[in-house]
Structure 1
């Protein structure tokens, strides 16, 4: 019980400390929306970096963070998996005539918006699958780490609870998928790349993934037809197709992890 109590205190301190610090850091006074958003993503990222290394040093560096391990493998695996992860449901929705593209928006400083989305992804992954995940995994087990961090990841996407059961299941299975990819790749790089492709292409280009309200989208996209397939107002992230793809990919990486661990060293 003492071990569990210490873990609860560490987890709460890490998460709540980040929430408090991130909420009091100054925002930009820029009137340029892209610059304002970039600054708004930099502040919580800096906060999680500081908390990560503070807690890491408190642990006397005994918790292995796996932040930069296997970079080439992580980038390649994250890119391939991320493209498949997004392309398959979009293609199925397009073939089912649930998704329609009707022109393009003109976006000022598009690259800055992309950078902001990238920094947001790094922040989320460090918060969920960085120190906290590795501490829970190494002090307890993978199951405990996956359950706790998936709960936090889902809480960060609170909009899903207002949107319905399918969006909630999609967020849950997205987190489990990226955790399985983290375990297979051996570093946080692959989940970061996957997550960025999902948000960067899915939101800023396709307009079918939920980010902060001020993020623009390049394409004018509409979702019609059966809401179970089209996702309704949630777009891609509200579609049952995404749920199925998440489950299939998660099962694949869980199988690959089991096979990798069973191989003689």
Structure 2
């Protein structure tokens, strides 16, 4: 029973189920009923609910795996947290800003008007909890456990594929958006391997997603966000991206590939790659850390 309980697949299933279950339960039965009964503005209410959800999700993960794996939860360590959050966010935001700049210089992007700051309330809070939820489920549950079990290389292949599966269901998916999704899963996985913490891949994810509606691009095929700038894309889809958004531009894919190569190189140079180990005498109740 103990071997089954601490088997990697069991830990992944229980971790995802409990983290999701607690988050959904607290949202639907506690925070939403209370906040919406106290605040008339849906925008402000949604913002507060989303940020409370951030605290609930991180707390659930922390106490679950602290009890389950009986170890320090180093992947949520506050060491260098500001450096990784700020650096990761601006790296993700800067890549797509560079794409926008190139398109602007080519005459393929034109700003029409300034829309306002409402994007920084509920839409931003939604991006924060959405990016964090994906990073908790895909990176520090699924990928972390797979990497410690199967090694970095196999885990990167699996996580790249599994990360793209739910995104294939998004509206207006294209071949290039699938390529982008696979690279995105790889990039975040190797960022976690390099840093051994959630903050860098989460912040990069948030900065990347933040930039798209900011510049009036669809976000992964979704156009539900009010942009900061009302703008027009007018050029070949290979460069400007399809209706899926700017992230399936060949420029975005090229820059993301460069990020993957850089962090893979840094991980190898700093001896962060975990090798596939023999299943014999494997202790599934420990979390392998490479310094």
- The normalised TM-score by structure 2 is 0.74
2:216 to 207, 217, 220: 207
Distance 1:190 1:47, change over 3 A: closer
2:33 counterpart of 1:32: no
Structure 2: how far apart are the matches of 1:223 and 1:72? 34
Kept after mapping to 2: 8 A contact 1:160/1:168: no
Distance 1:23 1:98, change over 3 A: farther
Q: Which has the larger radius of gyration?
A: 2
Q: Which residue does the alignment assign to 1:10?
A: 11
Structure 2: how far apart are the matches of 1:249 and 1:72? 20
Structure 1: how far apart are the matches of 2:42 and 2:191? 34
Structure 2: how far apart are the matches of 1:42 and 1:151? 29
Structure 2: how far apart are the matches of 1:79 and 1:32? 29
Kept after mapping to 2: 8 A contact 1:70/1:185: no
Where in structure 2 are the equivalents of 1:55-74 lying within 5 Å?
Answer: 55-61=65-71, 64-74=74-84
Q: Which residue does the alignment assign to 2:142?
A: 132
1:197 to 179, 199, 207: 207
Distance 1:153 1:49, change over 3 A: farther
Distance 1:149 1:243, change over 3 A: same
2:173 to 163, 172, 177: 163
Kept after mapping to 2: 8 A contact 1:93/1:99: yes
Structure 2: how far apart are the matches of 1:257 and 1:243? 21
Runs of 4+ aligned residues of structure 1 deviating over 6 Å after TM superposition are: none
- Structure 1: give runs of 5+ residues left out of the alignment: none
SS at match of 2:219: coil
Structure 1: how far apart are the matches of 2:251 and 2:77? 31
Distance 1:223 1:72, change over 3 A: same
Structure 1 residue 58: Cα displacement: 0.9
Q: Which residue does the alignment assign to 1:181?
A: 191
Q: CA RMSD in A?
A: 3.3
Structure 2: how far apart are the matches of 1:120 and 1:215? 14
Q: Which residue does the alignment assign to 2:133?
A: 123
- Structure 2: give runs of 5+ residues left out of the alignment: 273-290
Structure 1 residue 165: Cα displacement: 1.2
The count of residues paired between Structure 1 and Structure 2 equals 261
2:82 counterpart of 1:81: no
Kept after mapping to 1: 8 A contact 2:108/2:234: yes
Q: Which residue does the alignment assign to 2:106?
A: 96
